Amino acid sequence: MTRILLLTLFISLSSHVFGQLTLDACRQKAQVNYPLARQYKLIELTENYNLKNAAKGNLPQISLSGKASYQSDVTKLPIALPEISIKALPKDQYQIMVEARQNIWDGGLIHHQKQQIQASATETERQLDVNMYALNERVNQVYFGILLLDEQLSQNTLLNEELERNLNTIKAYRDNGIANDADVDAVQVEILNTRQQRTSLEANRSAYLRMLSLLIGEEIPAHTRLSKPVLPGQTISNDINRPELLLYEVQKQVLDVKQQSLKSGYLPQFFLYAQGAYGNPGLNMLKNEFEPYYIIGARMSWNFGSLYTLKNDKRKLDTEKQRIESNRDLFLFNTRLQVAEKDGTISALRKQMKEDDEIIRLRTNIRKAAEAKVANGTLTVTEMLRELTNESLAKQNKAVHEIQLLMDIYQQKHITNEQ
């Protein structure tokens, strides 16, 4: 946790200095900032408290008891001696007792209890790992959403500059009688549409930045640029290393510990005890008066009742293991389906990107030819604007394909947890 905090501080300072954020930095900050991260410390504290409580079972156990009773009859001597009067025991009896018991061997009960506490704490941590891992996908979606909006804003700027250049050209044509006011108005309408699109894109980017700010726990200035991840050149491994697999393994380990603890239910227990009491009668049952007394000794307790259900208890745990293994297989099956689907999407995008540059080159040639035709008076401005829009869309498609490919690759890395 200390290393993570230091790394986050360094990344934070670097991002303020250079005004740029990276995907890895956002992930690190989100992991530290997410409220669920505080539960790691709470799990550790709970485990320590439970272990200390379990260990106290080896300390002397002290109990205080008392009783008052009245019985219908008491023990009497079956003989009568002449001139000797033997008083009968009182039918009302009283006793207050303090007993101390020291465990010698509990059949491994406390040992197995500690193992269960540790195993349960580990299971809770692995479940928390799974929940924290899902946070990375949310960061990915918001981060690449901003990158996509940045590309669209960049293309919007280029289109607006191109329209402004054409507006000046068309105005010159109008002044020379080649074009008219309607042609100028058509270009101005496209400029206004481009500005409206920019307003919408900027509003969406602001909303996404706000979402990313909440995720990483710090304010992100509007001028901050997000670093585009480098497109991996090598093939992504399909080996699955998700934290869910560790969770399934730990769940089976918890059942193993429970199965081992069944032994403590049918093993004998040995302990020492000491009793100190004050009552009437005392140890001398024939003496009718209050007196103190004590008893010390050793005891053995052996309960065979758990043997009746031992076989079924083991079967229940084996059934639970089979259920966990079934959930693991189902998770791997669904994950492999996601990987296969993402492989197809990535392959299709790579093929499309190979043709994007050629489409842009052809669209640029068509647009330039259209501008030349407008200058010669053989093409209307509206038709030329259509070709200009088609060229802009081709460039936007290329930018979208690049960001989409990056997003899909990182989604696949998230699906498999490839580092």
* φ, ψ for residue 97, nearest 5 deg: -135, 140
* φ, ψ for residue 69, nearest 5 deg: -140, 160
Beta strand pairing call for 291-301 and 20-21: unpaired
- Report d(CA 346, CA 409) in Å as an integer: 7
- Report d(CA 349, CA 356) in Å as an integer: 10
- Report d(CA 122, CA 129) in Å as an integer: 10
Of 137, 332, 132, nearest to 249 by C-alpha is 332
Q: What mean pLDDT, rounded, does the chain reach?
A: 87
How many separate helices (H) and strands (E) can be counted in the chain?
Answer: 8, 6
Structure tokens at 237: 């491994």
Structure tokens at 231: 């497109």
Structure tokens at 314: 């083991």
The DSSP secondary structure of 355-367, one letter per residue, reads HHHHHHHHHHHHH
Pair 392, 158: CB distance under 8 Å? yes
pLDDT, position 169: 86
pLDDT, position 147: 93
225, β-bridge pairs: 20
Strand, coil or helix: 278 = strand
**Between 282 and 125, the higher pLDDT residue:** 125
296, β-bridge pairs: 274
- Note the pTM of the prediction, 2 decimals: 0.79
Q: Dump pLDDT digits (tens) for 260-296.
A: 988 888 889 999 999 999 998 888 877 888 899 999 9
Average of pLDDT values for 208-216? Answer: 94
2 has a pLDDT exceeding 50: no
pLDDT, position 13: 44
CB count within 10 Å of CB 151 equals 19
9 pLDDT tier (thresholds 50, 70, 90): very low
- Find the Cα–Cα–Cα–Cα dihedral 325, 327, 330, 335, rounded to 10°: -110
Q: Dump pLDDT digits (tens) for 354-370.
A: 899 899 999 999 989 99
Q: Dump pLDDT digits (tens) for 227-265.
A: 988 877 666 677 889 999 999 999 999 999 999 988 888
What sections of 217-300 are H helices per DSSP? 243-261
Residues 80, 81, 83, 89, CA torsion sign? negative
First-to-last CA distance in the chain? 19
**Between 1 and 280, the higher pLDDT residue:** 280
pLDDT, position 84: 67
66, β-bridge pairs: 96
Pair 115, 291: CB distance under 8 Å? no
pLDDT, position 253: 94
Percent of the chain with pLDDT strictly greater than 70: 92
